[in-house]
Structure 1
Amino acid sequence: EKAESAVKEADIAKAAWSCRVCLNNEVNMTIVPCGHVLCNRCSSSVSRCPFCRTQVSKMMKIFRP
C-alpha cells in the first residue's frame, strides 16, 4: 500500500513538470509577463500565452530544483 502511494505521488510530481501544450516534454521556459510555463519546443512557436492569451514580451529559461 505504501509502495502504491509512493508511485502515485511520483506520477503526480512528474505530471506537474510536463508541458501542458504537448504533454510530452518537461517545462523549461516561462512566459514573461504572465509566468505560465512551457517546454522549449512549444515556447518557440507562440506569440501569445496559450493559457491566458497574454502577449509574450519574452521567454525566460527556468531550472528545476
Structure 2
Amino acid sequence: MANINRLKVVLVEQGKTGKWLSEQLGKSNCTVSKWCSNTVQPDLVTLDKIARLLDVDVKDLLNTTTKE
C-alpha cells in the first residue's frame, strides 16, 4: 500500500503519540495505528480535525503525488 498520509511523521515531529491523538479524537488506538501505518486512511472530516489538533495545514498530513 502506498504511503498516502504523513500522520506518523508529523506526530513524531511534534513529540505526540498515537495514543494522544486517539484520546483527542475519541477513536480507538487501533484505528489511529492503522492510519499511521497507512493501512487505512481517515476520512476528510477527521483529517481536518487532526490538522487542527496538530496545528498544521491538511496538506502537511498528505504525501504529494507525482505524475509519471
TM-score (norm. length: structure 1): 0.29
TM-score (norm. length: structure 2): 0.29
Which structure has more relative contact order (CA 8 Å, sep 6+)? It is 2
Rg comparison, structure with higher value: 1
From the two aligned structures, give the one with the greater helix fraction: 2
